[in-house]
Amino acid sequence: MTKGRLEAFTDGVLAIIITIMVLEMKVPHGGDFKDLEPLLPVFLSYVLSFIYLAIYWNNHHHMMQTVTHVNGKILWANMHLLFWLSLVPFVTGWMGENHFTIASVSTYGIVLLGAAIAYWLLQRLIIKSHGKDSILALALGKDLKGKISPILYVIGILGAFLNIWISGIMFILVAIIWLAPDMRIEHALKNKTNKL
Amino acid sequence: MTKGRLEAFTDGVLAIIITIMVLEMKVPHGGDFKDLEPLLPVFLSYVLSFIYLAIYWNNHHHMMQTVTHVNGKILWANMHLLFWLSLVPFVTGWMGENHFTIASVSTYGIVLLGAAIAYWLLQRLIIKSHGKDSILALALGKDLKGKISPILYVIGILGAFLNIWISGIMFILVAIIWLAPDMRIEHALKNKTNKL
Amino acid sequence: MTKGRLEAFTDGVLAIIITIMVLEMKVPHGGDFKDLEPLLPVFLSYVLSFIYLAIYWNNHHHMMQTVTHVNGKILWANMHLLFWLSLVPFVTGWMGENHFTIASVSTYGIVLLGAAIAYWLLQRLIIKSHGKDSILALALGKDLKGKISPILYVIGILGAFLNIWISGIMFILVAIIWLAPDMRIEHALKNKTNKL
Amino acid sequence: MTKGRLEAFTDGVLAIIITIMVLEMKVPHGGDFKDLEPLLPVFLSYVLSFIYLAIYWNNHHHMMQTVTHVNGKILWANMHLLFWLSLVPFVTGWMGENHFTIASVSTYGIVLLGAAIAYWLLQRLIIKSHGKDSILALALGKDLKGKISPILYVIGILGAFLNIWISGIMFILVAIIWLAPDMRIEHALKNKTNKL
């Protein structure tokens, strides 16, 4: 039951974050197609952030399927993750409205990095409480994706000061890496079931 | 359990979309009945979009009743649907505030078309993973509604350049076609149960 | 399962409506206590609407406990109820910001009346599909509250043109009548259980 | 089932409150790091309120695990708690945007105090309906935390008129006291299980 409510709360927060982001796309006063043009950077930022939040939801969903019990520490680690994700609409709006300035792109990367670290911490705590033979631990293995992502984020954050395209490529690259996140856990779940 | 959380997340996002749309109706500064007048187009847009989102929720709800398992692809197809639907408040507000200009009405249709295609894709993936004898496949049959709707949307999108009433009629027509969406699946569910 | 998702969606929409209403209380620019003064009417409107939405949630919650199955008509009747309730933040903000003008108070009453009629329709459909001996039918009995409320609303709507205090008293009166709504259904549930 | 829906609704409202708070951080017009500076007080207020709401969610979650049945009074006591919490985004935004004036800091404390009293009332009603030997009653014991917090809030509310740092320290202190809230109930649940 505990787990159910943690999932429900996380779903609620993610659903709201993903939806209020669209409020940053202010309805233009003019009614022509050209009035949509200035919104293009905001729209592109929105698409990227939507994909990131969808990835987080998907991964969270898969991770929680391996979880059998939660404790106070896990609840707080989850809250910590939600805190970073709750900042996404703000940095998305800031980046979009200012047409990708160095500061806004770099700050966007910092928030993504914060969320990635928070997710990693949550994963650690779950594995710690479920044991090294738990499905999650087996599924992650060496967790290559989890190790590479922060490095790419840091390149993105610092790269913005040279050329914001470096950041753009890094942030898109991480998204692509994670777009197929489930295979590991889905396979691990199947293996575990087959062995029984 | 997977299915449950997919439904919960979808419910959350749809509930928020349907509710924040009303925020586009800005409270007028004057306090007389005549101050409500300029809001009429926004209100009518809101009613239409509310009905569309209610139709999507109803259909999604019926479709998911036939689903027994979900996979990564279905999760992403669902996210894709939510992406298009998340744009509805924006286009609703734009169309309403600019009193149904060609561009805004046409863009509204594009978003509806995008959502329809996304829904169709989701349906395809569910049928693919559940088989041609699945309840959903039997319920849809030749899926006449699903085939006609995109055509009507395209007429609505292009028709706006001739006369926005063409679009209006098309978008209302599709809504009417879908207002009683459940019968097929409800019947199919009954038939399946009766045969067992 | 159907019923569960109907409840979940309704909970989501009501939770959002109740919460975004508070966004109509715009943060004042000054930082003194006196800067809160102009917000008093908005705050009072908020309190009243909060109580109304809480009553609806409570009653919906009790009503759904007696429901064993839902159909397409019930889903749409529920959507219709949510439509009226979704207009509450708008009329609350309008009424509060314009310090209770005749038009805004009267419109507020119209939305409350619309919601009451929608609730009554939903109740009818549930009783129709569950039978006259259903717990809900027995619990409601002659449904005195349900019959008096619309009359009080109409007095409130028309009374605004004489004196807005008439409306105020009517709307508060209806809220008081409904504040203890559960007894009937709670008793009926107990009786039914005792008989078995 | 009743309990489940109470939890779901509370989760929904808390998820929305926690997320719309971030909307008070208005996206700055400039795109440099220095444009973020004026947002610092708003951000700090946001972090404090986020922690408070997370504490409430965590405690509510633990408290509800000990609950086996709910009644109309408990539903209303819960609504009363949500009412106070729904005011948090408003006072957070007011306090942040006005850089911690006496009035805004003091009002922030009043809302926290209101929520604390509402939580205490809810707890009372649950214990009353579950008995003095209930898990919750045993877990709370003399409820030292519950008794100290209101005193600290009052010091914070009145202290603002001397020096707003007094308030700041009090509000942070209460947060720290509650950050590890679960142990009591987690232990009580274990003890109860062990005895059986």
- Indicate the range of C33-37, C107-111, C192-196, D32-36 predicted with least confidence: C192-196
CB contact under 8 A, C50 and D16: no
Residues from chain B contacting residue C12 (CB–CB below 8 Å): 11-12, 14-16
CB contact under 8 A, C16 and D16: yes
Task: Give the 3-state secondary structure of D54-99.
Answer: HHHHHHHHHHHHCCCCCCHHHHHHHHHHHHHHHCHHHHHHHHHHCC
Q: How far is B88 from chain A (nearest CA, A)?
A: 10
Which residue of chain A has the CA closest to D32?
A103
| Chain A positions with Cβ closer than 8 Å to D | 1-2, 5, 8-9, 12-13, 15-17, 20, 23-24, 71-72, 75-76, 79, 82-83, 86-87, 89-90, 93-94, 97-99, 101, 103-104, 107
Residue among D97, D99, D103 minimizing CB distance to C33:
D103
Query: How many Cβ atoms are within 10 Å of C151's Cβ, its own excluded?
Result: 11
Residues from chain C contacting residue B29 (CB–CB below 8 Å): 97-98
* Predicted complex ipTM: 0.87
This prediction's pTM: 0.90
Question: What tokens were used for C195?
Answer: 């008989």
CB pairs under 8 A between C and D: 83
CB contact under 8 A, A87 and D7: no
Best of D3, D10, D14, D19 to disrupt the A interface (most A CBs within 10 Å) is D19
Which residue of chain C has the CA closest to D106?
C33
- Indicate the range of B125-139, C12-26, D69-83, D143-157 predicted with least confidence: B125-139
The rounded percent of chain B whose pLDDT value lies above 70 is 90
D16-38 pLDDT, tens digit each: 999 889 888 889 989 999 999 99
Residue among B2, B8, B13 minimizing CB distance to A18:
B13
Q: How far is B114 from chain A (nearest CA, A)?
A: 14
* Mean model confidence pLDDT for chain B: 89
B60-79 pLDDT, tens digit each: 988 888 888 888 889 999 99
Residue A90 contacts residue D27 (beta carbons within 8 Å)? yes
**pLDDT value at residue D1:** 47
**pLDDT value at residue C141:** 74
Evaluate if residue C190 carries a pLDDT over 70.
no
Residue B170 contacts residue B152 (beta carbons within 8 Å)? yes
Q: Using DSSP, state whether B29 is helix, strand or coil.
A: coil
Burial B28-45 (b: 16+ CB within 10 A, else e): beebeeebbeebeebeeb
| Chain C positions with Cβ closer than 8 Å to D | 7-8, 11-12, 14-16, 18-20, 22-23, 25, 27-33, 35-36, 47, 50, 54, 57-58, 61, 64-65, 179-183, 186
Residues from chain B contacting residue A190 (CB–CB below 8 Å): none
**pLDDT value at residue A13:** 94
Evaluate if residue C192 carries a pLDDT over 90.
no
Phi/psi at A30 (5° precision): -80, 160
Helix, strand, coil percentages, rounded to 5, for chain A: 80, 0, 20
D112-128 pLDDT, tens digit each: 999 999 999 999 999 99
**pLDDT value at residue A184:** 64
Residues from chain D contacting residue C33 (CB–CB below 8 Å): 103, 107
Residue ranges of chain A with pLDDT lower than 50? Answer: 1
Confidence grade of residue C1 (pLDDT, cut at 50, 70, 90): very low
How far is it, in rounded angstroms, from Cα B148 to Cα B173? 11
Give the sign of the dihedral formed by CA C96, CA C98, CA C99, CA C105.
negative
Mean pLDDT of the B89-99 span: 94
How far is it, in rounded angstroms, from Cα D73 to Cα C164? 32
Which residue of chain B has the CA closest to C72?
B182
**pLDDT value at residue A142:** 76
C37-60 pLDDT, tens digit each: 999 999 999 999 999 999 999 889
Evaluate if residue C118 carries a pLDDT over 70.
yes
Output the CA angle C105-C108-C110, nearest 5 degrees.
115
Which chains does chain B touch, 3 or more C-beta pairs < 8 A? A, C
**pLDDT value at residue A71:** 84
**pLDDT value at residue C23:** 86
